[in-house]
Amino acid sequence: MPFITHINTFAALGSGVIGSGWVARALAHGLDVVAWDPAPGAEAALRQRVANAWGALQRQGLAPDASQARLRFVATIEDCVKDADFIQESAPERLQLKLDLHSKISAAAKPEALIASSTSGLLPSEFYEGATHPQRCVVGHPFNPVYLLPLVEVVGGRHTAPEAVQAAIQVYTRLGMRPLHVRKEVPGFIADRLLEALWREALHLVNDGVASTGEIDDAIRFGAGLRWSFMGTFLTYTLAGGDAGMRHFMAQFGPALQLPWTHLPAPPLTDKLIDDVVQGTAEQLGQRSIAALERYRDDCLLAVLDAVTATKARHGMGFAE
């Protein structure tokens, strides 16, 4: 069965931070969007989140027919998915909830419509177990803010057809994203496993009184974080090996991997640690609202993306490099 890759109607189930990011991205690319969320006040909250993101999307560049007016909010799962060409679920990370949702979603959706989940770690073979036509079901794990960050991890389950993975990659590419095919079902996929390791170590540093939350963020944003935005980890360390490259780097710094620098298991989430993290981040936030900080973040992301794109062009490199 061929899967739909040229989509006109995008269905979004769940309208929190991630779900609303999908809605904003789809609207910005000129699609009709149908959304569903059972939470009280969900429609108003969704429209407000989209409105808050729209300025950044305008600066990035909207499709000619992009409009917030193309968003329709409905009362049932069936109404949300029945006419959709592509379906993106962004519900909370609870296995039984997703099992129930996807049983209903897949039963009501067109057989040729791809179904994706934004899960950040649950395995598709598990929560698509009761789905109708599970061969069209994938994970499409994005990163916040979904409407600006291009990365999306695409993962197939036990019953997913390889053609469905490739079709989902085509859809996400047309939405201006950089799909990363995760070839094996592993908890946390790729990016979140890396982020979780950093997060655990950051919590240890706070817990042990080594640094505040602001100082840890400074260690990232004025150091490695700047390099990560355009070169990642492996190319950065290749340069650290000098002309001899990665082999020399591994020989010189590899033995340090055996030193007890890191803990890896997370520290106990005691009341004191939680209070310290909350107090530290409150001091970082200051008098700014979350919405204001989101707009600041979006402007910074656009500036970084523009700078990297322009620099790659000067060096004869494309977006994918």
Model pLDDT for residues 134-149, shown as the tens digit of each residue:
999 999 999 999 999 9
Give 196's pLDDT tier (boundaries 50, 70, 90).
very high
How high is the pLDDT of residue 320? 66
Please report the pLDDT score of residue 49 as a whole number. Answer: 97
Question: Is residue 298 one of the residues assigned to a domain?
Answer: no
Mean pLDDT value across residues 118-138? 96
Q: Which of 19, 163, 167 is nearest to 85 (CA)?
A: 167
Boundary residue ending a domain (182, 206, 222): 182
What percentage of the chain has pLDDT greater than the value 90?
Answer: 77
Let me know whether 132 and 235 are in one domain.
no
Same domain, 58 and 20: yes
pLDDT-based confidence at 293, cuts 50/70/90?
A: confident
Q: Are residues 63 and 138 in the same domain?
A: yes
Is 51 in the same domain as 126? yes
Question: 176 and 29, same structural domain?
Answer: yes
> Cα separation of 154 and 180, whole Å?
6
- The answer on 243 and 158 residing in a single domain is no
Q: Which domain holds residue 219?
A: 191-286
Q: What pLDDT score does 319 carry?
A: 66
pTM of the prediction?
Answer: 0.91
User: Could you tell me if residue 304 is inside a domain?
Assistant: no
216 and 251, same domain (yes or no): yes
pLDDT exceeds 80 at position 72: yes
Look at the alpha carbons of 253, 312, 309, 118 in this order and tell me if their dihedral is positive or negative.
negative
Higher pLDDT among residues 290 and 162, named by residue: 162
Last residue of a domain, one of 182, 217, 237: 182
For residue 173, the model assigns a pLDDT of 98
Give the pLDDT confidence score for residue 180 in this predicted structure: 97
pLDDT in tens, 84-101: 999 999 999 999 999 999
The answer to whether residue 297 is domain-embedded is no
CATH code of the domain covering residue 267: 1.10.1040.10
Which range of 14-28, 248-262, 268-282, 303-317 scores highest in mean pLDDT? It is 14-28
Asked if residue 163 has pLDDT above 80, the reply is: yes
Q: Is the pLDDT of residue 1 over 80?
A: no
Return the bridge partners of 141, or none. Answer: 153
Tell me which of 182, 210, 235 is where a domain ends.
Answer: 182
Is the confidence at residue 254, as pLDDT, over 90?
no
Buried b (16+ CB within 10 A) or exposed e, 37-69: beeeebbeebbebbebbbebbeebeeeeebebe
Q: Does some domain include residue 117?
A: yes
- In this predicted structure, the answer to whether residue 321 has a pLDDT above a threshold of 80 is no
Residue 319: inside a domain: no
Q: Do 27 and 20 touch, CB atoms closer than 8 A?
A: no
Number of domains in the chain: 2
